[in-house]
Amino acid sequence: MRALHGGEAYGIRMKRVSRLTWGGFVCLLLVACAEPPTAQAELVFGTICSINLYEQGSPKIYETLFSRLREIDLTMSATKADTAVDRINQNAGIRPVPVPPDLMEVLEQALTYAALSEGAFDPTVGPLVQCWAIGSENPRIPEALEIEESLSLIDWQDVVIDREAATVFLRRPGMALDLGAITKGYAADEMAELLQKAGITRAIIDLGGNIVAYGTKSQDEPWRIGIQDPLDSRGSYLGILTVRHKSVVTSGVYERYAEIDGKRYHHILSTQDGYPVSKGLLSVTIIADRSIEADALSTAAFALGYEKGRALVESMDHAEAIFVFEDKQIRGTSGALAWFTLKDPQFSLNP
């Protein structure tokens, strides 16, 4: 992350999801700042998480916020040993596992979006992610049989939640949860709730690219969020969103990828054929009231493609989307385009 002041831009890192199949990038534009804002940053969820409370920040509130982020990570990570998610995965096909209320809530939300997207978003994608290992030190192209076996283990309907017993069970051995495409959205919403309880009136929450523009920039002035140009270097934006108290999350093909034998394989994997999604899209940005919704919908809409993805977003209350295509066209829902200003002449709006 880098911060430029005066009339320049405050760059925020692309959305990173630990070992999952999606990512994105947005930049926050802070215009005419006299002094650099004082933000706190820490490595959580495998990425840099930054929170800026401006003049209302204090060591105590920052510690409260980051302590909660670490707690969520140590519950929901699929890559750390002995987290609740890891225990569920280790006991797949064997026995139900007790889980804390926050994980129950996130998993129930994940299953809701899995149903709405007809499995394009699926929290049991873990075996396929592990198969490709994109984002790890040893990514590879799996054999066709490996992909077939991984796909056979992906089915959100085989997740058994027992609310009364507070347990989660994966029906078949080899199944694996990976909640990376929704956990940071939940965590960002948790941060906003803590800020509200603390009486904080404005803040920028950036959990590795999951942005919550909390309140307004100053008085009634909105925040300006830049959408990354997927064909240019990090920090180059193709347009600006002007929003108040919204979450902005982007999923795209350009953050995490592997180059193998001269070919680039991005990390957004299809639960239908097991290969990187190919729908003619470079990125999908979701603007929503809740970050958990923006997080899940950005992945689901990208995986579904433009027609089905747009229909899904438009079926939701308080959610809008911007789709960036490989041919440099930009389309979006009516609400999103009302907030969006195109800046890069290489791209064209086609509502």
Q: Is the pLDDT of residue 4 over 60?
A: no
To the nearest whole number, what is the mean pLDDT of the chain? 88
Model pLDDT, residue 209:
83
Model pLDDT, residue 27:
53
Per DSSP bridges, beta strands 348-349 and 329-332 are: parallel
Assign 94 to helix, strand or coil: coil
Q: How confident is the model at residue 220 (pLDDT cuts 50, 70, 90)?
A: confident
d(CA 170, CA 242): 42
Summarize the chain as % helix, strand, coil (round to 5). Answer: 30, 30, 40
Q: Phi first, then psi: give them for residue 105, nearest 5 degrees.
A: -65, -45
Model pLDDT, residue 34:
41
Mean pLDDT of 211-219: 92
Mean pLDDT of 79-93: 97
Q: How confident is the model at residue 7 (pLDDT cuts 50, 70, 90)?
A: very low
Dump pLDDT digits (tens) for 159-185.
999 999 999 999 999 999 999 999 999
Q: What is the DSSP letter of 254?
A: S
Q: Which of 210, 188, 187 is nearest to 73 (CA)?
A: 187
Q: Are 193 and 204 in contact (CB under 8 A)?
A: no
**Beta strand spans in 45-193 (E):** 47-52, 97-98, 159-162, 167-170
Comparing 5-14, 180-189, 328-337, the range with the smallest average pLDDT is 5-14
Q: Is domain 1-351 annotated with CATH 3.30.930.10?
A: no
Model pLDDT, residue 134:
80
Q: How confident is the model at residue 268 (pLDDT cuts 50, 70, 90)?
A: confident
Q: Give the tokens for residue 293.
A: 């919704």
Dump pLDDT digits (tens) for 31-84.
434 444 479 999 999 889 999 999 999 999 999 999 999 999 999 999 899 999
Neighbours of 118 (CB within 10 A): 15
Dump pLDDT digits (tens) for 133-164.
887 788 899 999 999 999 999 999 999 999 99
Task: List CB contacts of 305: < 8 A, sequence separation 6 or more.
Answer: 279, 280, 281
Cα 203 to Cα 11, 193, 211, 246, 248: the distances in Å are 16, 12, 10, 11, 14
Q: Which of 348, 291, 345, 295 is nearest to 323 (CA)?
A: 348
Model pLDDT, residue 11:
36
Q: Which of 42, 20, 73, 98 is nearest to 190 (CA)?
A: 73
Mean pLDDT of 332-336: 93
d(CA 330, CA 333): 11
> Domain spans of the chain?
1-351
